[in-house]
């Protein structure tokens, strides 16, 4: 299996409506033998939502990965010099996280782990979930799309009539997109019809 033994940093940010959908691809990665390091944003670490209870959600992530949750900048800093990842995945990657990455802001565990992975010349894979992808955040997405070692899970408009600027990743393609990114390839087509 291509992912067996690969060190995968897995960042989860606060697209709360997507939180539970991420668990299935996370389980699949673990079944494939990936060594997963779960990293959560401050909002994921602090808040429950109508979609999940924070404590049980974090516990489930930790159990799937077989590791403690990384939730602080101090913990994530190790991704640079000592605990080097083969790839950093952010799923879901919110518009807020995309904007921070596009502008060099690493003010939390997920963004710092990502910066550290890029510093080590390793790939980063983003599973976009943004209500503003075709709005003001569009420039940030395209900036990252054209950045070395940045890759995207194929994404498209999820509800063009009621949410015309919203775009989301196809999580069924997440594992294949990870394999492609490790090989230095952007999965195609990158922009899809949902």
pLDDT digits (tens, 9 = 90+) for 123-172: 999 999 999 999 999 999 999 999 999 999 999 999 999 999 999 999 99
The per-residue pLDDT for range 57-90, each reduced to its tens digit, is 999 999 999 999 999 999 999 998 888 999 999 9
Overall pTM surpassing 0.85 (yes/no)? yes
Backbone angles phi, psi at 49, to 5 degrees: -145, 180
Tokens 């503003």 belong to 132
186: helix, coil or strand?
A: coil
Instruction: Give the residues across from 111 on adjacent strands.
Output: none
In the block, tokens 């992975």 appear at 117
Where in 84-142 does DSSP place strands (E)?
A: 87-94, 124-130
Question: What is the rounded end-to-end Cα distance, in angstroms, of the chain?
Answer: 29
pLDDT tens sequence across 108-119: 999 999 999 999
């Amino acid at each position: 299996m291509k992912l067996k033994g690969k060190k995968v940093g897995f960042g989860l940010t606060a697209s709360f409506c997507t939180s539970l959908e991420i668990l299935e691809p996370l389980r699949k990665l673990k079944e494939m033998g990936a060594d997963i390091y779960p990293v959560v944003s401050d909002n994921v670490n602090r808040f429950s939502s109508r979609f999940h209870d924070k404590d049980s959600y974090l516990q489930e992530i930790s159990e799937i990965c077989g590791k403690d949750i990384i939730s602080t900048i101090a913990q994530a800093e190790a991704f640079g010099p000592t605990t080097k990842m083969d790839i950093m995945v952010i799923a879901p990657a919110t518009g807020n996280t995309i904007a921070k990455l596009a502008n060099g802001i690493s003010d939390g565990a997920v963004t710092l782990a990502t910066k550290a992975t890029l510093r080590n010349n390793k790939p980063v894979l983003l599973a976009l979930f943004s209500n503003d992808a075709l709005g003001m955040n569009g420039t940030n997405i395209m900036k990252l799309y054209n950045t070395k070692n940045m890759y995207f899970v194929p994404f498209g408009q999820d509800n063009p009539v009621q949410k015309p600027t919203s775009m989301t990743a196809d999580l069924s393609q997440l594992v294949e997109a990870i394999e492609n990114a490790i090989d230095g390839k952007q999965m195609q087509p990158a922009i899809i019809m949902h």
